[in-house]
Amino acid sequence: MRWLFVVLIGLLMVTDFTGVNPGLGPGLSVKNAMLYVAVMVLAFRIALSGGFRIRLPGLHLAWAAWIGYAILTWLAVSLFFKYHGYNPIISAMALKAELIDYALFCFVVFYGVQNEDDFRFVLRMLVGAIGISSILTLTDLVGITSLGMRVGDKGAEADRVFGAFGHANETGSLLAFMMPPMVAIAMSSRGFWRLCWLGLSAATAAVFILTVSRGSYVAVVLGYPIAAFLLRSYIPPGRITQWMLGGVAGAVLIAIAVAIIEPSAASAIADRVFNIGSRNLHDASSGRSDIWGLAISTMMDYPLTLLTGFGWNSWSTMPTIFVLHNTYLDQWFNLGLLGLAVYGGIEWLTLLTAKRAAATATGEIQRDMMAYVFGMMALSIAVFFQNLYTPRPYLWMYVGLAMRGAMLVFDKATAAAPARAPAIRMGVGVSLRKA
C-alpha cells in the first residue's frame, strides 16, 4: 500500500498548493475519494489475510469517544435545542470531514504500514513532501515559480508568508511539528542524501520564520526544550548542548538570509515579536483575548456547558466571524470536558508511546521516535493559539505513522525477548557445571 500513500500525499500537496480540490459530490472531494480508495484496499487486505488485531486500543477508544460524543451532541442540537443559525446539514458534513475523515487518515496509515521498510519509505515521502513544499514556497517568493503562494497584505497578516497549508499560523504549526522528523532523517542519511535533507530542513526553517507566527515560535522555543528534558535519559548532555548551539546558530543565519531575501518579512518579525510588550492585551494577542473572553463568558452564563459543551459546531452560531484561535477552548466550548480530555489525551498518549518506543529502539527508528516527541510537544503548545484546518491530514497521517513505528519497535523487542532468555539460562547452567 505504500504507493497508495504516496499518491495520497502527492494529491494533498497538489490540491493544497494550487487551492484546487474538485468536488465529486456532497461531502466528497478528490482528496477524500483517494482516502476512501486506500481505506477500501486496506479493508480487502485485512479481510483476505484474516490476521487483524487491534493495536494501541487507547488510541481507538479516544477516537471512538470523540466521534461518538460529537454525533450525540449534533443530534441533540439538531433535534431538540435547535440553536438560531445552526445548520444541521452543514454541521453533519463538518463532523464527517473534521473527525471521521481524519480518523481514517490516522488509522489507514497505522494499519496500512506493515514493516519497517514501509515505515521508512512512507515517512520519507511524507516529510519530503513538506520539505519540497517549503522549497516551492521560497521559489515563489523570489519569483522563480508562480504557484500562487500567498503573502499577507494588510493588518496583522501584512508581509507574512502563508505557505502551502492555509493561514500562516497553520503553516507555522505544521512546520514546527514536522521539522524534527526532517532533521532526524537528515541525521540518519549519508552523503548526497544527507545534503538534500539538510537543504530541505533549512528551507523549512526559513519558511517557518517567514510565517511570523508567534504561537509557532513559542511552540518551538518552549516545546523543543521540554521534549529534550523528557528524553534526557536517551540523549547525552553534550548532544543537547550541541543541538542548542547549532539551533541558535542556524536560526541566526537563516534569519539573516531571510532579512536579505525578504526585508519586509524582517520588519514584520520586528513589529509582531519584539514590539509585543508595547501593546495592550487586545493588540498583543491579535484579538484572541476578546474571542476567548466571549467563549468563556458564554459558557459561564450556562454553567452546565462547562461540563457538556454546547454541542458539535455550536461556535458557528456565535455573533462573530472569527474561529476560536485555540484548539483546546474550541473542543471545550463545543464538546465539553470530554472533547477537551480526549483531544489532549490523544496528544499525551501518542507522546508517551513514542517516548517508550525510544527507550527500547536503537538506530534510525529511535531517532524517529524521539523526533515525534519533539514535534508533538511543539504542536501541543502551538494549537493553544490557533485552530488548524488544512494541515490536519498531514498531522494525523504522521501520528498514525509514528504510532505504527512504535508498534514495530515493541513487536521487535517482544520477538527478541524469548531468544535472550534461554541464552541466559544456558550461561548459568554452564557456570554451575564448571563450579
Q: What is the pLDDT of residues 367-398, one digit of tens each?
A: 999 999 999 999 999 999 999 999 999 999 99
70: closest CA among 298, 314, 306? 314
156: closest CA among 194, 205, 102, 212? 212
pLDDT tens over the chain, length 435 residues: 888 999 999 999 888 877 777 766 666 788 888 999 999 999 999 888 877 889 999 999 999 999 999 999 999 999 999 999 999 999 999 999 999 999 999 999 999 999 999 999 999 999 999 999 999 998 988 888 887 777 777 766 777 888 889 889 999 999 999 999 999 999 999 999 999 999 999 999 989 988 989 999 999 999 999 999 999 888 877 666 666 666 667 666 766 766 666 666 666 666 666 665 555 666 666 778 899 999 999 999 999 999 999 999 999 999 888 899 999 999 999 999 999 999 999 999 999 999 999 999 988 999 999 999 999 999 999 999 999 999 999 999 999 999 999 999 999 998 887 655 454 443 434 333 333
Buried b (16+ CB within 10 A) or exposed e, 24-62: eeeeebbbbebbeebbeebeeeeeeeeeeeeebeebeeb
Give the pLDDT of residue 32.
Answer: 86
Cα torsion at 83, 84, 88, 91 (round to 10°)?
-90
**Secondary structure (H, E, C), the chain:** CHHHHHHHHHHHHHHHHHCCCCEEECCEEHHHHHHHHHHHHHHHHHHHHCCCCCCCHHHHHHHHHHHHHHHHHHHHHHHHHCCCCCCHHHHHHHHHHHHHHHHHHHHHHHHHCCCHHHHHHHHHHHHHHHHHHHHHHHHHHCCCCCCCCEECCCHHHCCCEEECCCCHHHHHHHHHHHHHHHHHHHHHCCHHHHHHHHHHHHHHHHHHHHCCCHHHHHHHHHHHHHHHHHCCCCCCHHHHHHHHHHHHHHHHHHHHHHHHHCHHHHHHHHHHHHCHHHCCHHHHCCCHHHHHHHHHHHHHHCCCHHHHCCCCCHHHHCCCCCCCCCHHHHHHHHHHHHHHHHHHHHHHHHHHHHHHHHHHCCHHHHHHHHHHHHHHHHHHHHCCCCCCCCCHHHHHHHHHHHHHHHHHHHHHHHHHHHHHHHHHHHHHHHHHHHC
Strand pairing class (161-163; 150-151): antiparallel
Give the pLDDT of residue 262.
Answer: 65
Strand pairing class (28-29; 23-25): antiparallel
Q: Return the domain boundaries, the chain.
A: 59-415
Give the pLDDT of residue 239.
Answer: 67
pTM above 0.85, yes or no: yes
CB 76 within 8 A of CB 368: no
Give the pLDDT of residue 224.
Answer: 93
Q: 330 vs 51, 69, 322, CA distance in Å?
A: 39, 15, 12
Q: How far apart are CA 107 and CA 244, in angstroms?
A: 35
Buried b (16+ CB within 10 A) or exposed e, 201-221: bbbbbbbbbbbbbbbbbbbbe
How many CB atoms lie under 10 A from the CB of residue 345? 16
Residue 412 in grid coordinates = 521487535
CB 326 within 8 A of CB 287: no
Buried b (16+ CB within 10 A) or exposed e, 124-146: bbbbbbbbbbbbbbbebbeeeee
Give the pLDDT of residue 431.
Answer: 37
Q: How far apart are CA 356 and CA 351, in angstroms?
A: 9
305: closest CA among 77, 84, 75? 77
CA angle 256, 225, 260 (to 5 degrees): 5
Q: What is the pLDDT of residues 194-253, one digit of tens each?
A: 999 999 999 999 899 889 899 999 999 999 999 999 998 888 776 666 666 666 676 667
CB 174 within 8 A of CB 130: yes
Residue 155 in grid coordinates = 493588518
